[in-house]
Amino acid sequence: MVVVNPRQVRDFARATGWLAKTDRVDAQELAHFAQAVRPSPRPLPQEQQQAIVSLVTRRRQVLGMLVAERNRLQRSPLPIRRRIEVHIRFLEGELKELEGELDDAIRGSPLFREKVDLLRSVPGVGPTTACALLAYLPELGQVGRKAIASLAGVAPLSWESGRRSGRRRITKAAGPGLGRQRAWLPWWP
Q: What is the pLDDT of residues 77-88, one digit of tens each?
A: 988 999 999 999
- Report, as an integer, the average pLDDT of 173-189: 41
Strand partners, 180: 176
Residue 167 pLDDT level (bands cut at 50, 70, 90): low
Q: How would you class 168 by CB atoms within 10 Å of its CB: exposed for 0-12, middle for 13-18, buried for 19 or more?
A: exposed
**Of 140, 150, 148, which Cα lies nearest the Cα of 172?**
150
Report how far residue 12's alpha carbon sits from residue 57's, in angstroms, rounded to the nearest whole number. Answer: 31
* Local confidence band at 164 (pLDDT 50, 70, 90 cut-offs): low
- Per-residue confidence band for 176, with pLDDT thresholds at 50, 70 and 90: very low
Q: What is the pLDDT of residue 181?
A: 40
Between 53 and 138, the higher pLDDT residue: 53
Q: Mean pLDDT over all residues of the chain?
A: 82
Instruction: Give the pLDDT mean for 18-42.
Output: 83
| Residue among 89, 91, 88, 110 nearest 99 (CA) | 91
Confidence label for 170 from pLDDT (cuts 50, 70 and 90): low
| 3 beta partners | 184
pLDDT given at position 121: 94
Q: With bands split at pLDDT 50, 70 and 90, how would you rate the model's confidence at 185?
A: very low
Which of 47-61, 127-141, 167-181 shows the highest mean pLDDT? 47-61
